[in-house]
A and B are shown apart, each in its own frame.
Chain A
Amino acid sequence: QKEVEQDPGPLSVPEGAIVSLNCTYSNSAFQYFMWYRQYSRKGPELLMYTYSSGNKEDGRFTAQVDKSSKYISLFIRDSQPSDSATYLCAMSDQGGSEKLVFGKGTKLTVNP
């Protein structure tokens, strides 16, 4: 079993839809959870950062972490064509480390 599982999609939605992306993980030591967005031919850019369990909202984006189920989610409200990208979940067990464990990424297309 991989440490982090993420459905690679692809996922295609109409503009304005609510998008739900998620990852499961097996390592209970993970405490730091991130979502990165990666456009084609670019490096990943940080979208959301969460420590431990709970919800975090930033504009149209909401990140949820459920440590008891080892499950994290990213919701995108009012999706836009510019949201079309690959979304990567990432997590870490150490606050001082740059070692992140990534999921495979979910490729999202938002159709106008």
Chain B
Amino acid sequence: ETGVTQSPTHLIKTRGQQVTLRCSSQSGHNTVSWYQQALGQGPQFIFQYYREEENGRGNFPPRFSGLQFPNYSSELNVNALELDDSALYLCATQGRGSGANVLTFGAGSRLTVL
């Protein structure tokens, strides 16, 4: 167990719908980041949250948004789903006792958009 828990593990949506993915961490770190991993690709940085504020964003449109809560759990919201949004969505936080670049990932939420 990595200490980073994501839910749901799998879900299927149709084009145009909205989805919310959730992440919680046992580590209590005040940063969380989200990544998108398409099939056969490496993870791509979506954004990072620090103390409930977005603190860095990758090349993703505004329909990808997030929230971080006072207990450091987090949500990723995607509106107006497109077929290309089908991917594994990974939540990550800093590993215990390590630097900011050393991330611990959850197992991910696999989203299929039909």
A: residues with CB less than 8 A from B are: 4, 6, 8, 32, 34, 36, 41-46, 49, 88, 90, 92, 94-105
Q: How large is the interface on B (under 10, 10 to 19, 20 to 34, 35 or more residues)?
A: 20 to 34
A105 and B90 CA atoms in complex are apart in Å by 16
Chain B residue, CB-CB nearest to A102: B42
B: residues with CB less than 8 A from A are: 2, 4, 31, 33, 40-45, 48, 56, 58, 90, 92-95, 98-108
Q: With A42-B107, A43-B105 as known contacts, state yes or no: A99 contacts B43, CB within 8 Å.
A: no
Which of B4, B45, B104, B107 contacts A99, CB < 8 Å? B45
Say yes or no: B105 contacts A99, CB within 8 Å: no
The 3 closest A-B CB pairs, nearest first, are: A102-B42, A43-B105, A98-B33
Q: With A97-B56, A98-B94 as known contacts, state yes or no: A45 contacts B42, CB within 8 Å.
A: no
Say yes or no: A92 contacts B101, CB within 8 Å: yes
A-B contact pairs, 8 of them (CB 8 A): A32-B101, A44-B43, A98-B103, A101-B45, A102-B42, A102-B43, A104-B40, A104-B42
**Whole-angstrom distance from the CB of B83 to the nearest CB of chain A?**
21
Say yes or no: A6 contacts B42, CB within 8 Å: yes
Q: With A6-B42, A8-B40, A46-B95 as known contacts, state yes or no: A100 contacts B100, CB within 8 Å.
A: no
